[in-house]
Amino acid sequence: MIDPSLYYQLAHAISHFNLPGTVFSIERFGSGHINDTYRITTSEKDMPGYILQRINERVFKNVHLLMENMENVTNHLSKKLKDIPGNDPSRESPRLLLTVDQKPYFKDSSGNYWRVFLFVIDSVIFQKTLNSEQAFETGKAIGKFQYLLSDYHGVIHETIPGFHDLEKRLMEFDRAIQLASKKKMQKAGNEVSFVGRKKDQMREMITDLKLKNVALRITHNDTKLNNILFDKQGRALCLIDLDTVMKGYIHYDFGDAIRILANNADEDEPDIQRVSFNLDYFKAFSRGYLEQAKDFLSPAEKKWLAFSPFYMTFIIGLRFLTDYLNGDIYFKTNRVDHNLQRAHVQFRLISLMEGEYDSMREMFR
């Protein structure tokens, strides 16, 4: 049940968007930890409903730039999908609705930012990979997203500077070490040593991509499984949660998807022995990805796809470890040493992937 004062605030925000009919119901929706999300139904029976979100401006400092990115990208996706027979733009790309002033968001008198999407009916989200077929569909969805945007040449703002930049993250890590308590450094000794051993290996991918002048493309930058909509038959429909869409290397999307999809345990699994790397899921994902992306990939990009899960798992693990040393000021935690545990899982996953690297590389020869 939504508090009456909040309901009034939500209804006020909705009134600034071009929604047909009158609001019938407002319900909390989803399990996101950043933005507040609500499902809206109206008196228009033929409409599937809408998703209203309050954007977290504490996380996203440049909402107007973020929303300009989102509007440009969704418009491009919709136009491309219309030109491909058999596609349904209303289901295979997020559809952003404009305000009565033809803007992609509304800012209320309290400084809250709101946006509205068309609800995709008969769609589902998964938190964990169920089978190889789902991994294949996930790879297709990410490859298709990148393919459809491979010819986009419009404006894209860097809304989170250096989001996956290794050198920036290592500088933050070094500062955290200097300020961390002796107790935290003792607890995190193994993880700190792991970073020291692996950081130069992680640099190799970025160094080579820069030397070969590999272009930055439009990337999603947060390709968790639960950021993909599926239909009820198990077919991947589209990527959602486009807040982090920026220019980047395609390896960011590929690697981060594998980091989640091919780990049979949770990101913060307490029992480290349960962490494992599912090579079958990796192979299925890779086949799906290449089916969509093979025509636009350069040889230099393809060369590093198998390594990209190492890079992205290291980046995320490094961020968890840095936040632990800093006193857990960024990622939400619900137990003691939660971020250290998360870092431990990421670094364990890297060690497991190392044993499968030859097989992973075979997918791209």
Q: Domains, the chain, ranges and CATH?
A: 4-121 (3.30.200.20), 132-362 (3.90.1200.10)
Q: How many CA atoms lie within 13 A of 167 on its CB side?
A: 6
Q: List phi, psi (to 5°) of 50.
A: -140, 160
Give a three-class secondary structure readout of 131-176: CHHHHHHHHHHHHHHHHHCCCCCCCCCCCCCCCCCHHHHHHHHHHH
Alpha-helix residue ranges (DSSP H) falling in 212-329: 250-261, 279-293, 299-303, 308-326
Q: At what angle do helices 166-179 and 189-211 cross, to 10 degrees?
A: 160
Report the distance separating Cα 9 and Cα 28, nearest Å. 14
Please list the residues that pair with 228 across neighbouring strands. Answer: 239
Residues forming beta bridges with residue 50, ordered by sequence position: 40, 118
pLDDT single digits (tens) 284-335: 999 999 999 999 999 999 999 999 999 999 999 999 999 999 999 888 888 9
Determine the distance from the C-alpha atom of residue 62 to the mean position of all C-alpha atoms in its chain, rounded to a whole number.
18
**What is the distance between the alpha carbons of residues 339 and 324, in angstroms, rounded to a whole number?**
5
Which amino acid, one-letter code, is at 207?
A: T
List 54's β-bridge partners, or say none: 36, 114
The whole model's pTM is what?
0.92
pLDDT digits (tens, 9 = 90+) for 179-213: 999 999 999 999 999 999 999 999 999 999 999 99
Residues 228-245 have pLDDT tens digits of: 999 999 999 999 999 999
Residue 133: count other Cβ atoms within 10 Å of its Cβ: 13
